[in-house]
Amino acid sequence: MTEVTSVPIQPIAKGSLVKLWLGVLVAVLIGAGIAWYSAPKGLSVSTITEGTGGTPAADDVVFVRYKGMLADGSTFDESQDLPLPIPGIFPEGNPLPLNQMVPGFSEGAQQMQKGGKYVLEIPAEKGYGAEEKANPQTGEVVIPANSDLTFEVEMIDFMSEEDFQNKIAQIQQMMAAQQGAQPGAPGAGGAPAPQGQ
């Protein structure tokens, strides 16, 4: 007959089980913290003032007022009021074609409604990534490589690219008609210009 040798199990010291579970919990929390910190940050759109109606599409032109800032709060870009609006043609704000913007701005703008004010936070990989952006006049770097960007945006209005191009053509026709109607302009029907002797 085979004999089984028994090994006595030592009792767990008082409080050791609690310490074991606390150690496991701390290890899980540290692992989750490292995973969260190293994970790429996503795009964030925070509403300051609610807008109304629909949202722009990826190929629309938006009319906005904006201020672009770096993580340290310094401003790298700010919209300037253009000699618009032209009543019945263009609304106020800067026209920005979304298909020509950095991916994060385009994606964020597509979540904004007309008349709303928003804070748009763009991680570097959806902005300019590893590329630096310099002022073309001074050569000074205004957006360092791998910079997260924050924009304060007021969405004034938006329209399709086709409507935008049609309205540009309309303005060009109006300007051509105004130039043709000036006295002394060729084909204006005014008195002929005096000829030298």
Helix (H, G, I), strand (E, B) or coil at 61: strand
DSSP-derived secondary structure for 18-57: HHHHHHHHHHHHHHHHHHHHHSPPPPEEEEEE--BS----
- Residue 130 placed within a domain: yes
- % of residues, the chain, pLDDT over 90: 53
Please give the biggest Cα pair distance in the chain.
142
Segment 136-155 shows an average pLDDT of: 94
pLDDT at residue 11, rounded to an integer: 64
- Residue 13 placed within a domain: no
90-141 pLDDT per residue, tens: 888 899 999 999 999 999 999 999 999 999 999 999 999 999 999 889 999 9
- Residue 69 placed within a domain: yes
- Residue 156 placed within a domain: yes
- Residue 12 placed within a domain: no
Q: Is residue 190 scored above 80 in pLDDT?
A: no
pLDDT at residue 15, rounded to an integer: 65
- Residue 27 placed within a domain: no
95-106 pLDDT per residue, tens: 999 999 999 999
Q: Which domain holds residue 116?
A: 44-81+93-167
Q: With contact defined as beta carbons under 8 Å apart, do 189 and 183 qualify?
A: no
Domain count, the chain: 1
Q: Is residue 181 scored above 50 in pLDDT?
A: yes
Strand boundaries in the chain, DSSP class E: 44-49, 60-70, 75-78, 94-97, 117-122, 133-134, 141-143, 149-160
CATH number for position 72: 3.10.50.40
- Residue 155 placed within a domain: yes
- Residue 98 placed within a domain: yes
Q: What angle do CA 119, 120, 124 make, to 5 degrees?
A: 145
Helix (H, G, I), strand (E, B) or coil at 184: coil
70-87 pLDDT per residue, tens: 999 999 999 987 765 567
**CA distance linking residue 132 with residue 70, whole number of Å:** 13
Q: Is residue 1 scored above 60 in pLDDT?
A: no
Place of tokens 């936070």: 121
Cβ-based neighbour number of residue 147 at 10 Å: 22
**CA distance linking residue 91 with residue 167, whole number of Å:** 11
